[in-house]
C-alpha cells in the first residue's frame, strides 16, 4: 500500500502550493463572519454608512481571494489526481504485460480489467477529494471553534452537541457501509467476467438456445450488485437529511439561546450571527470529514487490489548476468530431462522429456489430448519455466538469457489465432513494423493468406475487428503464420496452427513452409498424422512422457501409441502406403 505513495513524489511542490493556498482560502473564509458582525454591530446599528461600505469592500476582496484560491486548488488537485492515476495505470499495465502465464492464472482477466480501470478511478477520486476537502476541513473546524469561543464562550456547548451527533452518525455509517465496499468490488469483477464470457461465447450460446438461461444468470448477479449498491446508497442517503436536521436544529438553538443573551445585553446581534456562521463551518467541516471516512475505506480496498498486482513477484525473471546468443546461432533446441509441474499442482504434467530439434529439420510433436504437447512448446519461449532439467537454445539455458533476446529468435503461432484491431497489414507487420510491402506480400503468399486477401476490396487495408471476429478461424491462423514469418526467426513453433485449415490448404502451406524455413528449426504440435508423415523427427507423448522418437515409418512399427493414433485417422491401406 505504501508503495503507491511514491507516485506522488513528482507532485510534492504542487502539493505544498496547494496546502498553502488551502490555508489562505480557509483563513479568508473565517474572516467573513467577523466582517459581518462588525457591519451589524458598528455599521447598521450606528448607521455608519461609510463603515458599512468599507467593510463590505473588504468582504468582497476576501471573498474574491478565497474564490481564486479555490479555483487554483481545484486545478492542482485535478492535475495531481489525474497524473497519479495515469502513472499508476501505466505501471499496472506494464506489470501485467510482464506476467507469465502462472501470474495470469492467479488473477482473472476480468479482475485485471477492473483493477486497471474502476479501482484506479476510485483512488483518483479519493485523492482529489482528500486534497480539496481533508486539507481544508481540520483548519476550518479548529479555526471556527476558536473564533466561536472568542465571540460567545457561553454558547460553545451547542457546537459540542452538534459535533457529538455528527460523530455518532459517522461511526454508524462506518460500521454498516464500509464492509459492503469490498463486496461491491468483487461483484463488479464477477459481472465483468460474466459479461466478457458471454460476449466471447455468443455463438455457442445462440447455437444451444441458452440465451434465456444466461440472461437469468446475469439478472441474478446484477440483482446482487444492485442490492449491495442500494444498501450502501440508502445508508449514505440518510446522511444528508440527518446533516440538514442537525444543521437546522443547531441554527434554531443558537437563535433561541442567543436571543436570551441579547435580551440580557450579554451578546450583540452581530456576534450571534457570526457565531451561527462559525457553527455552520464546524458542521460543514465534520460533514467533509464524514465523506472522507466513507470513501477512504472503499478506496483502501482498491489500493489493496492495485498493490496486489504491483507487488506480485514475477516467477520468470531475466538473469542478472544474461548470456547472449551468438549472431550466427541457428536455433538448436535441446530438452534435457525436463520435468514440469504447474504452480500449485500436485503432480507434474511432463516427466523427463529429452529430445533435440535441429536447424534445417522439422520436429513434430504428437500425442493424445492432455498428453502435454502444448506445454512442451510453451516452455521454449519461457511462458513457463521448467521445474527440473534443462532447456537449451544453441547451447545456452533459456533461464540464462534475456526473455527479449530469446523471443526475438522465435516465431510463435498459437492454435487459436490472435489478431488485434487494426488492418491486415498492421497485423502481419505486428512483429516487424519496418518490413517492406514486398516482404509482407511474400509472407502472405507463403501462408496462403493471399487467397482471401486478394478477394477483398481494401486488400491489406481491410479492417480487422477486435479479436479478429470478422475473419474466419482458418484466416486467423494463416495471418498468424504470416506474422511469424515476417520476423524471419531461427525457431518456428506451430502449436497445432493448421487445425482450422482444410487438408488441401494445409498441405500447400506446409510444402511452401518447408522451402522457406529450410535453414530454421521447425517444431510442430500436430493432431493429424498428415502433418507428421514428412517430418524429420516425430516425438510421441503419452501422459506427459515420451514414448517414441523417430521418423513416421519407424514409429508405425515401434511405437504402439503412434500406431493407434494413425489407425484412428487413416485406413490400414493408407498406413501401408505411407509406411
The model's pLDDT over 348-387, given as tens digits with 9 standing for 90+, comes to 888 888 999 988 888 989 888 888 888 888 888 888 888 8
- Per-residue pLDDT reduced to its tens digit, 228-263: 888 877 777 777 787 778 888 888 888 888 888 887
Q: What is the pLDDT of residue 503?
A: 73
Residues 6+ apart with CB under 8 A from 396: 323, 325
- Per-residue pLDDT reduced to its tens digit, 499-513: 767 777 777 877 888
Per-residue pLDDT averaged across 87-94, rounded?
88
| CA 469 from centre of chain | 23
State if pTM tops 0.75.
no
Q: Of 468 and 228, which is predicted with more confidence?
A: 228
pLDDT band at 575 (very low <50, low <70, confident <90, very high): low
Q: What is the pLDDT of residue 221?
A: 85
pLDDT exceeds 70 at position 3: no
DSSP 8-state class, residue 462: P
Joined grid coordinates for residue 406 = 530469446
Looking at the DSSP bridge assignments, the partners of residue 353 are: 338
327 touches 175 (CB < 8 A): no
Cα distance between residue 173 and residue 270, in whole Å: 36
Q: What are phi and psi of 84, to 5 degrees?
A: -60, -50
Neighbours of 417 (CB within 10 A): 22
371 touches 541 (CB < 8 A): yes
Residue with cell 465496499: 181
Q: In three state form, how does the secondary structure of 20-43 look? A: HHHHHHHHHHHHHHHHHHHHHHHH
For strands 396-397 and 463-464, give the pairing: unpaired
Q: What is the pLDDT of residue 468?
A: 75
pLDDT band at 192 (very low <50, low <70, confident <90, very high): confident
pLDDT exceeds 60 at position 2: no
- Per-residue pLDDT reduced to its tens digit, 295-331: 777 677 788 888 888 888 877 888 888 887 776 668 8
Cα distance between residue 190 and residue 302, in whole Å: 16
Joined grid coordinates for residue 28 = 479568508
Per-residue pLDDT averaged across 51-77, rounded?
87
Percent of the chain at pLDDT exceeding 70: 95
pLDDT exceeds 70 at position 4: no
Which of 134-138, 294-298, 449-453 has the weakest average pLDDT? 294-298
Average pLDDT, the chain: 82
Cα distance between residue 42 and residue 38, in whole Å: 5
Residue with cell 450579554: 266
pLDDT exceeds 70 at position 398: yes
Q: What is the pLDDT of residue 265?
A: 80
Q: What is the pLDDT of residue 573?
A: 62
pLDDT exceeds 60 at position 576: no
Q: What is the pLDDT of residue 227?
A: 87
If we measure between CA atoms, which residue out of 100, 568, 572 comes closest to residue 369? 568
**Coil, strand, or helix at residue 4?**
helix
Cα distance between residue 348 and residue 439, in whole Å: 42
Alpha helices in 349-492 (DSSP H): 373-379, 403-407, 424-428, 437-446, 450-453, 473-485
Q: How many residues does the chain have?
A: 579
Q: What is the pLDDT of residue 327?
A: 67
Q: What is the pLDDT of residue 266?
A: 80
Joined grid coordinates for residue 246 = 442537525
If we measure between CA atoms, which residue out of 432, 429, 505, 431 comes closest to residue 464? 429
Q: What is the pLDDT of residue 120?
A: 87
Percent of the chain at pLDDT exceeding 90: 1
Q: What is the pLDDT of residue 301?
A: 76
Amino acid at each position: 500500500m505504501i508503495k503507491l505513495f511514491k507516485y506522488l513524489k513528482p507532485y510534492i511542490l504542487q502539493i505544498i502550493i496547494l496546502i498553502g493556498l488551502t490555508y489562505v482560502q480557509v483563513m479568508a473564509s473565517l474572516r467573513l463572519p467577523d466582517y459581518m458582525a462588525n457591519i451589524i454591530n458598528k455599521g447598521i446599528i450606528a448607521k455608519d454608512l461609510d463603515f458599512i461600505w468599507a467593510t463590505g469592500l473588504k468582504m468582497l476582496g476576501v471573498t474574491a481571494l478565497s474564490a481564486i484560491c479555490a479555483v487554483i486548488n481545484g486545478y492542482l488537485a485535478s492535475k495531481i489526481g489525474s497524473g497519479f492515476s495515469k502513472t499508476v495505470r501505466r505501471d499496472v499495465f506494464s506489470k501485467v504485460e510482464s506476467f507469465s502465464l502462472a501470474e495470469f492464472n492467479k488473477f482473472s482477466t476480468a479482475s485485471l480489467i477492473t483493477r486497471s480501470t474502476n479501482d484506479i478511478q476510485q483512488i483518483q477520486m479519493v485523492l482529489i477529494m482528500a486534497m480539496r476537502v481533508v486539507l481544508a476541513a481540520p483548519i476550518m473546524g479548529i479555526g471556527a471553534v476558536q473564533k466561536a469561543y472568542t465571540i460567545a464562550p457561553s454558547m460553545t456547548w451547542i457546537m459540542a452537541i452538534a459535533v457529538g451527533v455528527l460523530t455518532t452518525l459517522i461511526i454508524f455509517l462506518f460500521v454498516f457501509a464500509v464492509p459492503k465496499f469490498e463486496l461491491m468490488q468483487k461483484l463488479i469483477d464477477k459481472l465483468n467476467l460474466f459479461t466478457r464470457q458471454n460476449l466471447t461465447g455468443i455463438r455457442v450460446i445462440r447455437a444451444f438456445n441458452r440465451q434465456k438461461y444466461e440472461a437469468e444468470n446475469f439478472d441474478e448477479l446484477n440483482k446482487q450488485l444492485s442490492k449491495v449498491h442500494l444498501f450502501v446508497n440508502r445508508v449514505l442517503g440518510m446522511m444528508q437529511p440527518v446533516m440538514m436536521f442537525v444543521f437546522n436544529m443547531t441554527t434554531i438553538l443558537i437563535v433561541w439561546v442567543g436571543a436570551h443573551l441579547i435580551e440580557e445585553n450579554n451578546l450583540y446581534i452581530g456576534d450571534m450571527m457570526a457565531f451561527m456562521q462559525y457553527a455552520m463551518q464546524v458542521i460543514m467541516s465534520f460533514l467533509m470529514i464524514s465523506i472522507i471516512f466513507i470513501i477512504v475505506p472503499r478506496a483502501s480496498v482498491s489500493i489493496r487490489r492495485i498493490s496486489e498486482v504491483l507487488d506480485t513477484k514475477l516467477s520468470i525473471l531475466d538473469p542478472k548476468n544474461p548470456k547472449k546468443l551468438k549472431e550466427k546461432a541457428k536455433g538448436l533446441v535441446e530438452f534435457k530431462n525436463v520435468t514440469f509441474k504447474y504452480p500449485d499442482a500436485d503432480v507434474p504434467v511432463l516427466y523427463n522429456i529429452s529430445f533435440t530439434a535441429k536447424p534445417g529439420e522439422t520436429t513434430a510433436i504428437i500425442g493424445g489430448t492432455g498428453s502435454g504437447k502444448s506445454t512442451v512448446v510453451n516452455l521454449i519461449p519461457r511462458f513457463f519455466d521448467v521445474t527440473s532439467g534443462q532447456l537449451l537454445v544453441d547451447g545456452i539455458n533459456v533461464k540464462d538469457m534475456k526473455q527479449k533476446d530469446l523471443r526475438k529468435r522465435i516465431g510463435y503461432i498459437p492454435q487459436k489465432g490472435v489478431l488485434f484491431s487494426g488492418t491486415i497489414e498492421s497485423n502481419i507487420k505486428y512483429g516487424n513494423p519496418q518490413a517492406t510491402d514486398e516482404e509482407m506480400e511474400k509472407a502472405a503468399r507463403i501462408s496462403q493468406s493471399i487467397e482471401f486477401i486478394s478477394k477483398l476490396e481494401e486488400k491489406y487495408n481491410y479492417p480487422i475487428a477486435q479479436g479478429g471476429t470478422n475473419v474466419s478461424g482458418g484466416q486467423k491462423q494463416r495471418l498468424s503464420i504470416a506474422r511469424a514469418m515476417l520476423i524471419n526467426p531461427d525457431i518456428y513453433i506451430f502449436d497445432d496452427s493448421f487445425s482450422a485449415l482444410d487438408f488441401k490448404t494445409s498441405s500447400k502451406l506446409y510444402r511452401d513452409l518447408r522451402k522457406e524455413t529450410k535453414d530454421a528449426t521447425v517444431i510442430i504440435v500436430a493432431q493429424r498424422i498428415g502433418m507428421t508423415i514428412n517430418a524429420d523427427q516425430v516425438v510421441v507423448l503419452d501422459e506427459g512422457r515420451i514414448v517414441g522418437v523417430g521418423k513416421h515409418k519407424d514409429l508405425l512399427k515401434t511405437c504402439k501409441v503412434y500406431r493407434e493414433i494413425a489407425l484412428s485417422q487413416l485406413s490400414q491401406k493408407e498406413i501401408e502406403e505411407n509406411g
